[in-house]
Structure 1
Amino acid sequence: MNLFDWLPFGRVPEIPSEALNEQLKDVQIVDVRTPGEFQQSHIQGAINLPITHFSKKAISRLSLDQSIPVVTVCLSAHRSIPATRRLKQLGYDVKQLHGGMQAWWKGNYPVVSGQRGNG
């Protein structure tokens, strides 16, 4: 990845929270927030790999299925931008959650709290 790929702005494919809520059983969710943020509140089934640890090796340890779409999540859809780019470069069908967890919470969609992440 070049430096531009790591910048937390620019356009990447997105999915609105309403659509993600309807497709939860059909996607893999990678939450790139800190372990503390993840533990406080995350989407059911999400796995945590902080953006600061988003190496090819760490991504491979997640054992993501390349045949299933991936959705990246952060607080406000900024940290998930470079994660989305990186997963796309590795061949995944990936989108970020539009508006991040802030949009998810605003929509009153279900969350899990008090669990530790995988990454």
Structure 2
Amino acid sequence: MNDAGAVVGSGTAGAYFRAKLQFEIDVMDVADAAPGSFVLVDTRRQSSWDHGHIPGAVHLPTAEIPARVGALIPAGNSVVVYSWGPGCNGSTFAALAFAELGYPVREMIGGIEYWVRNGLPVETADGIVVRHFDALVTAHQPEA
């Protein structure tokens, strides 16, 4: 046991982390996923979406999920949600909303912040842009 009383190894802590990994996905795994394997949902407010979002994402702010999801995402489709980044739990609230509606859902850890920091494309009103990657964050270093 550790100081918090959790069993280390294959017990409680191991079960927790195995379960956690079933509901999270890394930004690079999202970027490398086969097209159509899930619906990517940006859960941020309109102004954030307008500032820039992942190309191909559906915009569905968390508060609007119960009212609008049926018209945008057919039941049973796998969903991946994202928000700003590690300092924001908006995607966790969105994932909960999708889960409570019966959708298979995962949360993209790192949010759009780590998407951008990995040098992945962002769509804005001016088109698709790629900003400089953060070499401390990613081994993925796009061609210049």
Stretches of structure 1 lacking an aligned partner (at least 5 in a row)? 1-10
Specify which of 52, 67, 70 is matched with residue 60 of structure 1: 70
**Which residue in the other structure is 2:100 paired with?**
89
Specify every segment of 5 or more residues in structure 2 that has no aligned partner in the other structure, as ranges: 1-19, 127-144
Task: Identify if the C-alpha distance between structure 1 residues 92 and 61 changes in structure 2 by more than 3 Å, giving closer, same or farther.
Answer: same
Count of residue pairs brought into register by the alignment: 103
Correspondence for 2:26:
16
Name which structure has the greater RCO, CA cutoff 8 Å, separation 6+.
1
Higher Rg of the two aligned structures: 2
Alignment check: 8 A CA contact 1:71 1:96 kept: yes
Partner of 1:73: 82
Paired position in structure 2 for 1:31: 42
How far does the alpha carbon of each residue in 1:44-91 deviate from its partner, in whole angstroms, 9 at most, with x for none?
A: 11111112323x2222222x1334321101001510101101111211
| Structure 1 segments of 4+ aligned residues over 4 angstroms from their partners | none
Tell me how large the CA RMSD over aligned residues is.
2.0
SS at match of 2:122: coil
